Amino acid sequence: MERIYLDNAATTPLDEEVIDCMVNVLKFNYGNPSSTHSLGQEAKTILEEVRRKIANSLKVTPGEIIFTSCGTESNNMIIKSAVNYLGVERIITSPLEHKCVAETCLEMKKLKGVELLYLKPDAQGDLDLQELEDALKSSDKKTLVTLMHANNEIGNILDIRKVADLCKENHALFHSDTVQTMAHLDLDFSKIPLDFASCSAHKFHGPKGSGFAFIRKSSGLKGLITGGSQERSMRAGTENVTGIAGLGKAWEISQTKMEDYKNLIIEIKHYAIQQLKEKIPGIKFNGRSAEDKSLYTILNILLPYRNPLIGLQLDMKGIAISQGSACSSGASKPSMVLMSILSEDELECCTPLRISFSHYTKKSDIDALVLALEEIGRPFVIEKSDSLHR
Ligand code: PLP
């Protein structure tokens, strides 16, 4: 059975060039970057070249890029350190954030007594920046704003430049979870005055277990892991040289091919929207995901019937896709994002599915998905009134 992969917001397959680069580093660059001999210094050079490459694209200084193991670690490090070391007493966030931000904020409330304030998204999943400005002006407490750049479920994009300006004007720190947009959108941090951001290599055809935190030099943030002077003492522990090399190669490819990949994916996304509208009557699209201003890699659909088994049924047909099931009862619960934007009726009677694309996605993958959805169809439901008459 041919396998079809439509879950690229969860993770992406490795690029062949990334694999080759990593294998080379595994074989030949096994030195510890902290060792002073030449093998160690060769490994150190690999790290510093990747750091410089990333810093050049983001228009920041290399010292502001701190390698970590993933997006989750970067977000944890930034939020926890901002509370622990920068005196943050209040966090403004939203119910749309990834769990690694949402749960870290809750932990800061529980353990450190930090005040948490949630902005309310509208039915399209957009935030009101006037509400943010009012919230910023409503207190003198030292505040961290943490709002993601693009949502990993519905693809809505936040204007982080405007948010960063508002935070600056109101003396608040601003962290943006940029895990879904790094290497997919052209980001210039010399024009966006945010303080912190995060990145994960496996979201753009790099390896799992490798990412970085952007930490603005002037912020004064400290790391959480102690016991070594690696990463400018911000993250102790011998660096994952192979993973960082893979991150660097995936980053380099994304920078040279960004426009080409973007155009390819946008064409596939438009094709998917058109096919789904044509073949699945009553289908809806969640958030802004079907609009051109959304992140081009994500399309979140709402099937007009409830089928909690759809992810499993599609998997049995060889299609890997994330469900984010909106069940009113049972084990699986709708996500916070969908609960924030869908009506009770939609949550109870419909089925959301997240289709996420990469430049490897083909039109035939979309055809296979649409055909599978048609074949699975609306599940047979015995209405209560029918069963009573039997
Ligand atoms: N933030 C967002 C928006 C994500 O989509 C993800 C991954 O799904 C993460 C953070 C966590 O990244 P990682 O898997 O590298 O820990």
338 C-beta closer than 6 A to ligand 1: no
Per the listing, tokens 């084990």 go with 331
Tell me, what's the pLDDT at 334? 80
Query: Which atom of ligand 1 is least distant from the CA of 150?
Result: 3
Tell me, what's the pLDDT at 333? 74
Gap from CA of 378 to ligand 1 centroid (Å): 32
- Residue whose CA is at the smallest distance from ligand 1 atom 12: 71
Gap from CA of 138 to ligand 1 centroid (Å): 31
Query: Which atom of ligand 1 is least distant from the CA of 200?
Result: 15
34: amino acid identity, one letter: S
For every one of its 390 residues, what pLDDT tens digit does the chain have, with 9 covering 90 and above?
889 999 999 999 999 999 999 999 999 999 999 999 999 999 999 999 999 999 999 999 999 999 999 999 999 999 999 999 999 999 999 999 999 999 999 999 999 999 999 999 999 999 999 999 999 999 999 999 999 999 999 999 999 999 999 999 999 999 999 999 999 999 999 999 999 999 999 999 999 999 999 999 989 999 999 999 999 999 999 999 999 999 999 999 999 999 999 999 999 999 999 999 999 999 999 999 999 999 999 999 999 999 989 999 999 999 999 975 333 334 467 889 999 999 999 999 999 999 999 999 999 999 999 999 999 988 766 555 554 444
Strands (DSSP E) along the chain, which ranges?
4-5, 65-68, 90-93, 115-118, 143-146, 173-176, 196-200, 211-215, 284-285, 298-303, 319-320, 351-356
- Where exactly are the structural domains of the chain? 4-11+257-388, 16-253
98 C-beta closer than 6 A to ligand 1: yes
* Alpha carbon distances (Å) from 17 to 48, 66, 180, 228, 248: 20, 24, 21, 32, 11
Tell me, what's the pLDDT at 331? 42
Contact 273, 296 (CB under 8 A): no
Residue 222 CB coordination number (10 Å): 15
Which CATH fold topology does 16-253 show?
Aspartate Aminotransferase; domain 2 (3.40.640)
Tell me, what's the pLDDT at 194? 98
Tell me, what's the pLDDT at 329? 38
How far apart are alpha carbons 94 and 121 in whole angstroms?
A: 8
- Phi/psi of residue 284, nearest 5 degrees: -130, 165
Q: Say whether domain 4-11+257-388 belongs to CATH 3.10.20.30.
A: no
Length of the chain measured in residues: 390
Query: Of 210, 200, 212, 245, which is closest to residue 23 (Cα–Cα)?
Result: 245
- Residue whose CA is at the smallest distance from ligand 1 atom 5: 152
* Alpha carbon distances (Å) from 14 to 11, 199, 201, 247, 298: 9, 16, 10, 10, 19
Number of H helices, E strands in the chain: 12, 12
Tell me, what's the pLDDT at 218? 87
Gap from CA of 156 to ligand 1 centroid (Å): 15
180 C-beta closer than 6 A to ligand 1: yes
* Alpha carbon distances (Å) from 258 to 285, 341, 366: 26, 31, 22
Query: Of 287, 328, 289, 283, which is closest to residue 304 (Cα–Cα)?
Result: 283
100 C-beta closer than 6 A to ligand 1: yes
Q: Indicate if 167 belongs to the active site.
A: no
71 C-beta closer than 6 A to ligand 1: yes
Gap from CA of 39 to ligand 1 centroid (Å): 33
Tell me, what's the pLDDT at 317? 97
Mutate to test the pocket of ligand 1, among 203, 204, 336, 354 (most ligand atoms within 8 A of CB): 203
200 C-beta closer than 6 A to ligand 1: yes
